[in-house]
Amino acid sequence: MDISQKKNKMKKTIIAALISLCCAYSNATQILWVGIDENAKVHLSDQTVSIVDWIALLGNSPSYVDPVDVGGRIRIGDTALLAGYEDPPDQNPPAVSFDDEITEFGLVLVDDNDEPTGMYADWQPIKLPEEITKSHTPIYYDIGYCDANADWEFVTIATAIGFVDELWDNHTYIAGTLAPPTETPWRPNNFYAVPEPSTTLLALLGIGMLLKRRK
């Protein structure tokens, strides 16, 4: 898979209209729904901003990050979980696929011209490992960006933490069942900065915030 294909698949975030599509699965895949609450807070090293302002700061920082490249991923331990994407994109009803290389999903919904729509990721399906059980296992929601200068490597800036048993009944769904899901996406209220590898970027974000205040 070349870089452009990987980037395009990362951008295809699944929205609420896709909640019924998982009926197409013949096996009992456990799906975790995730999304972004635009009122969520990102706690940086010396300031707290909303997720919306955080995305704007990334775009206004000296190390400019295109909103299209701002993303998230879900992981257990050091293992990033597979993120579903719409494929083919024009099918009605749409279908979701999982690719062994796709673990990131876009946080900002964009139109066909890659312009932000003002909407954010919601009803994003994440494929839980087959061996996972309803246990008090930590699960992490990373937010960051795909670095265009480093083969689209995902750079984590902040993380929220939950536990599988707390998310299980409210935010997970068994694909292949006939009824649409009654669960809701996991939308953490708080993301906390990680010390590395984002130290430099956090400093740049701080500069961006100062410039914004001066304006």
Q: How much is the pLDDT for 93?
A: 59
The H or E element that residue 125 is part of is: strand 124-127
The pLDDT confidence band at residue 170, using thresholds 50, 70 and 90, is: very high
Classify strands 190-193 and 41-43 as parallel, antiparallel or unpaired: parallel
Buried b (16+ CB within 10 A) or exposed e, 41-65: bbebeeeebebbbbbebbebbeeeb
Does residue 210 register a pLDDT over 60?
A: no
Q: How much is the pLDDT for 115?
A: 85
Segment 113-119 mean pLDDT: 87
Kindly report the number of other CB atoms within 10 A of residue 25's CB atom.
16
Residue found under tokens 């490249």: 69
Count CA atoms closer than 13 A to 62's CA, side-chain side. Answer: 9
Kindly report the number of other CB atoms within 10 A of residue 208's CB atom.
19
Kindly report the number of other CB atoms within 10 A of residue 38's CB atom.
14
Most confident of 7-21, 96-110, 157-171, 186-200: 157-171
Segment 87-106 mean pLDDT: 79
Does residue 173 register a pLDDT over 60?
A: yes
pLDDT digit string (tens) for 174-193?
A: 876 656 567 899 999 999 99
Rounded to two decimals, what is the model's pTM?
A: 0.78
Measured CA to CA, the distance from residue 35 to residue 16 in angstroms comes to: 10
- For residues 21 and 94, the answer to whether their CB atoms sit within 8 Å is yes
Measured CA to CA, the distance from residue 95 to residue 88 in angstroms comes to: 7
Residue 99's φ and ψ, nearest 5 degrees, are: -115, 135
